[in-house]
Structure 1
Amino acid sequence: MRSPEVARYSVLPGGLPGPVYGSYRVLADEPLLVNMSVSSRRNDSTGSEYMEHAPCISQIATLLADPKRSAMMWALMDGSARQTEELALMAGLSPSSASAHLARLAAGGLLKVEERGRKRFFRLAAPEIGAAVEALASASIASQPRQIPETLKRANPMLKRPVAPASLLQARLCDDHLGGTLAADLYQRLLDAGWIEQFDQRVVVTHKGATQLASRGVFVQALAHRNAQIACACPDWSERRPHMGGSLGAALLQLFLQSGWLTLPNDSRALQVTATGQREVHRFARETELEMAF
């Protein structure tokens, strides 16, 4: 699984110099080398051999299938460490029941335990765990009907929008790009300004958009060398509207971080918006009256 950490940008394929934004380069990233758990095999390999070496997804799915356990996992999505009693309250469990569920999650490798005196604190075992849980949340949102009757929402709590720690709602990591309210608003501005166009699930960068992005140090032609879509509409589970994914989404996040508009604390998926970022990110793709005249 790809790490949710921000993609590192270095040089273009072939060693070509890249575009510069201020004193920073925003470039196509290096080819991603993934250590796959399924080794290369000849075409005559049997199904049992693949089963033997395939990741044990069902074990993780079983752990997350329980609503109480998934609720406690969800409460830890911001990278924080929480006590058993606090997680029990959030999930509507007794401390003893919560302790049993947390023990299963820790034994399954999804959580790690920190001993602080007599207290036990739990946090996500790795950033990849948070990325996986968020991907499942996005998939659940994308698979739901656009309009869900209120009676069905009351009857099935799983149809309600996930409620996450407040720190994740404004700006957060979503795989290698920006998610949250800030990202969804940016995506809408890109559409309104004519920098991108969306046709059903397909998103394209317009000539105007490529020109404007290049003036800000993001070269679409360079991003085309990556083994990913240049632009795509990624479902945002907290906003129920899309934000920018693909290599363009990753490049924009890198630009915002390098410019000091966003910061990423250690062991957290929540991005902090700086005072400068509050101004500059909201100005990004927001055309002035003079620009609109042309």
Structure 2
Amino acid sequence: MEAAPCISHIASLLCEPKRTAMLWALMDGSAKSSEELATLAGLSPASAIAHLSRLTGGGLLRVDTRRGKRLFRVAAADVSAAIDALASTTMASAARSTPDVLPPALLAPASLRHARLCHGHLGGELAAGIYLRMLEAGWIDRHEQRTDVTLAGMRHLAQLGIFTQALAAPLACDCFDWSQQQPHLGGALGAGLLQLFLQSGWISAVNASHALLVTDIGRLEINRLAAL
């Protein structure tokens, strides 16, 4: 057992609901004061500072100073990735334990709900919209637990510079979106679309967050994808 990774310290930091509430409020890449985070988490200023000190000491948050004011933000991208993974697992485990009951959507900052990184592909409202349009346009097809790219989809994607024959397996799969309560596109095709959007300058990363900034042109072009 000595060779097991020592994750209990980080787990102990995340097991307190008030601390996770403050981390969750910073998942959009923003920086907030202890007073703002205290209000969001329903804490007294003194209690908020104590919790923030533990999160900062544990390497989950870092402190920026602006005009003499201390602002807290997520320390690095791996912290955002871990919290996002926990959100996905929370929704997935709820769905497994009560398969006939749709779990309530997790509330999150608007930018995360709109567009974010999700396991190397695009997640959020923007991604869920692409998935639905690709289904309706006949670019992809669902067979129970399997998602396939159709011949029509391959042709249209090739026009965008995405050649599905060159992509690794799995080519396409459903990824349940914790903020939209519906699937978006995962797999190599989901990753390929994300790279296309990044290289085209339609979206960009926000600090150490998983939130993605979508330009006006990017929103227009992405919403045209697979539009009937």
Same fold (TM over 0.5): yes
Contact 2:80 2:208 in 1 (8 A): no
Tell me whether 1:71 sits opposite 2:27 in the alignment. no
| Aligned match of 1:281 | 222
Tell me whether 1:168 sits opposite 2:112 in the alignment. yes
Whole-Å Cα distance in 1 between the matches of residues 62 and 134 of structure 2?
40
Whole-Å Cα distance in 2 between the matches of residues 283 and 186 of structure 1?
9
Structure 2 unmatched runs, 5+: none
Between 74-83 and 167-176, report the one with greater CA deviation: 167-176
| Aligned match of 2:124 | 180
Contact 2:22 2:41 in 1 (8 A): yes
SS in 1 for 2:227: coil
| Aligned match of 1:214 | 158
SS in 2 for 1:164: coil
Q: 1:193: Cα distance to partner?
A: 1.6
Q: 1:255: Cα distance to partner?
A: 0.7
The one-letter amino acid paired with 2:108 is A
TM-score calculated relative to the size of structure 1: 0.71
| Aligned match of 1:36 | none
Whole-Å Cα distance in 2 between the matches of residues 107 and 285 of structure 1?
47
Whole-Å Cα distance in 2 between the matches of residues 188 and 146 of structure 1?
22
Tell me whether 1:83 sits opposite 2:1 in the alignment. no
The one-letter amino acid paired with 1:126 is A
Deviation per CA, 1:84-111, whole angstroms, max 9, x where unpaired? 1100100011111111111111122111
Whole-Å Cα distance in 1 between the matches of residues 154 and 29 of structure 2?
35
| Aligned match of 1:237 | 178
Between 76-85 and 115-124, report the one with greater CA deviation: 115-124
| Aligned match of 2:45 | 95
Between 114-123 and 172-181, report the one with greater CA deviation: 114-123
SS in 2 for 1:82: coil
Tell me whether 1:270 sits opposite 2:214 in the alignment. no
Work out the percentage of aligned pairs sharing the same amino acid.
Answer: 57
Structure 1 unmatched runs, 5+: 1-47, 150-158, 288-294
SS in 2 for 1:286: coil
Tell me whether 1:58 sits opposite 2:8 in the alignment. yes
Contact 2:21 2:40 in 1 (8 A): yes
The one-letter amino acid paired with 2:115 is A
Deviation per CA, 1:139-173, whole angstroms, max 9, x where unpaired? 11122235549xxxxxxxxx642211112221122
Whole-Å Cα distance in 1 between the matches of residues 112 and 55 of structure 2?
22
- How many residues of Structure 1 are paired with residues of Structure 2 in the alignment? 225
Tell me whether 1:104 sits opposite 2:57 in the alignment. no
The one-letter amino acid paired with 1:233 is D
SS in 2 for 1:167: helix
Contact 2:75 2:208 in 1 (8 A): no
Among candidates 75, 79, 96, match of residue 129 of structure 1: 79
The one-letter amino acid paired with 1:77 is M
Whole-Å Cα distance in 2 between the matches of residues 109 and 260 of structure 1?
32
Q: 1:251: Cα distance to partner?
A: 0.7
SS in 1 for 2:162: coil
Tell me whether 1:192 sits opposite 2:136 in the alignment. yes
Whole-Å Cα distance in 2 between the matches of residues 271 and 250 of structure 1?
14
Contact 2:74 2:209 in 1 (8 A): no
Contact 2:80 2:209 in 1 (8 A): no
Deviation per CA, 1:218-274, whole angstroms, max 9, x where unpaired? 0111112xxx52212112111011111121111101111222322334444322222
The one-letter amino acid paired with 2:128 is A
Q: 1:130: Cα distance to partner?
A: 0.5
Q: 1:174: Cα distance to partner?
A: 1.7
Q: Over aligned residue pairs, what C-alpha RMSD do you find?
A: 2.0
Contact 2:28 2:206 in 1 (8 A): no
Q: 1:112: Cα distance to partner?
A: 1.2
Whole-Å Cα distance in 1 between the matches of residues 61 and 73 of structure 2?
6
Deviation per CA, 1:16-47, whole angstroms, max 9, x where unpaired? xxxxxxxxxxxxxxxxxxxxxxxxxxxxxxxx
Deviation per CA, 1:117-141, whole angstroms, max 9, x where unpaired? 5532111111111111111111111
